[in-house]
A and B are shown apart, each in its own frame.
Chain A
């Protein structure tokens, strides 16, 4: 007896466009963990914001799935929409300094995150997003430049400084953990 293969994204998209709610649920369950992981790393430790952004991503995606041409993988396409949602969120929150956000983080949802996540959280937002997008998610400097509206050269220089700061904080934390 063979296990029934799960329907491909293209099949589920067609069914969803025809009004099949179960097809949407399948797509949501298949791709949400990856997109939520990306958003969480960018807005950490604000998990509630990551959840709001994921919902916004799906709402926007659902309106455009009928014209999704399949030039890229669905997950990549969804990540693009998620990053647009993130960029808009970032603009809305830009007037708050990192210090204020950091202080707020102390009394918002504590996250049992990994050591790496903790170090990422401790970085200034501008450094963290370049580090996450380049070193974690694998975007190029040109793509990052388009996504967060900076010059590719700025992305490169930020990455260099971000790696340096990450390294120092990582070593500090490792030292602290050993004590």
Chain B
């Protein structure tokens, strides 16, 4: 096999690849939160003025409604933190990333519909570590079995019920490690 053969084989590897479908949504959300779609300076000023007026109006309405009715009670159901790890035994058995993420998302959405989920998120590797009087450390963005890859805040009447909910997570069937901790 000559260099030309290698080059030919590799030239054929230059293929496009469809990104995960939820990435578009996540990217748009990230850009919205940065005000990327606020438009030109004039429209930004206009939109900020509009926002200020809306906030003032909402405050006025809120004060008026608040004066008429008692504050709503916050549901006090116990909360449990469910952490998901990518341990070496985790074997997705050839399930594609996209299909697997959709499976986890469907599970979380079903819990949310049933009122059992407060928060559900995949967690990126890396991040920043900091403590008082020490320089900040930018952590390597690489997979590790020791740190959570996903977190869920589950609402359940007690630990047994929370455990029963956690056991329905697709992560278990792939051999993934999970930790459930009550939140005080």
A contacts, CB < 8 Å to B: 17-21, 24-25, 28-29, 32-34, 36-37, 40-41, 46-49, 51-52, 54-55, 58-59, 62-63, 89, 92-93, 95-96, 101, 104, 106-112, 114, 116-117, 120, 131-132, 135-138, 163, 166-167, 170-171
Complex Cα spacing A89 to B92, Å: 25
CB-defined contacts of B19 to chain A, threshold 8 Å: 32-33, 36, 51, 54
Q: In the assembled complex, how far is the CB of residue B38 from the closest CB belonging to chain A, in whole angstroms?
A: 6
Evaluate whether A59 and B27 lie within 8 angstroms (CB atoms) in the complex, with A36-B19, A46-B143 already known: yes
Q: Known contacts being A36-B18, A37-B16, A116-B10, is A24 close to B143, with CB within 8 Å? A: no
Closest to B12 in A: A116
B130 at the interface (CB under 8 A from A): no
Does B1 sit within 8 A of A, measured CB to CB? Answer: yes
Complex CA distance for A4 and B86, rounded to whole angstroms = 47
Does B76 sit at the interface, judged by CB under 8 A? no
Task: Give the complex CA separation of A21 and B32 in angstroms.
Answer: 9
Contact assessment for A109 and B31 in the assembled complex, using a CB-CB cutoff below 8 Å: no
B5 / chain A contacts, CB cutoff of 8 Å:
167
Stretch in B48-56, B134-142, B165-173 touching the partner: B134-142
A/B interface sample: 29 pairs, CB < 8 A: A19-B39, A21-B32, A21-B37, A24-B36, A28-B24, A32-B19, A34-B16, A36-B18, A51-B19, A55-B30, A58-B31, A59-B27, A59-B31, A63-B34, A63-B36, A92-B140, A93-B141, A101-B142, A107-B90, A108-B143, A111-B97, A116-B10, A131-B10, A135-B10, A135-B11, A136-B14, A138-B14, A163-B6, A167-B5
Partner of B26, one of A17, A33, A55, A136: A55
A109 with B92: CB separation less than 8 A: yes
| B residues in contact with A17, CB < 8 Å | 40
Cα distance, A97 to B15, chains bound together (Å):
28
B124 at the interface (CB under 8 A from A): yes
Instruction: Tell me the bound Cα distance from A112 to B35 in angstroms.
Output: 38
Interface size class of B (residues with CB under 8 A): 35 or more
A57 to B38, CA, bound (A): 20
Residues of B within 8 A of A (CB): 1, 3, 5-7, 9-20, 23-24, 26-28, 30-32, 34, 36-40, 43, 86-92, 94, 96-97, 100, 124-126, 138-145
- Alpha-carbon separation in the docked complex, A167 to B92 (Å): 31
**Complex CA–CA separation, A21 to B31 (angstroms):** 10
Question: Is B124's CB under 8 angstroms from A52's CB?
Answer: yes
Q: In this complex, what residue of B is CB-closest to A117?
A: B13
Is the pair A93, B142 in contact by a Cβ cutoff of 8 Å?
yes
Q: Which residues of B contact A32 (CB under 8 A)?
A: 19, 23-24
The minimal Cβ–Cβ distance linking A17 to chain B, given in whole angstroms, is 8
B3 to chain A, nearest CB (A): 6
Closest chain-A Cβ to B82's Cβ sits at a distance in Å of 20
Q: Are B24 and A48 in contact (CB under 8 A)?
A: no
CB <8 Å contact, A104 and B7: no
Residues of chain A contacted by B1 (CB below 8 angstroms): 167, 170-171
Which B residues are in CB contact (< 8 Å) with A46? 142-143
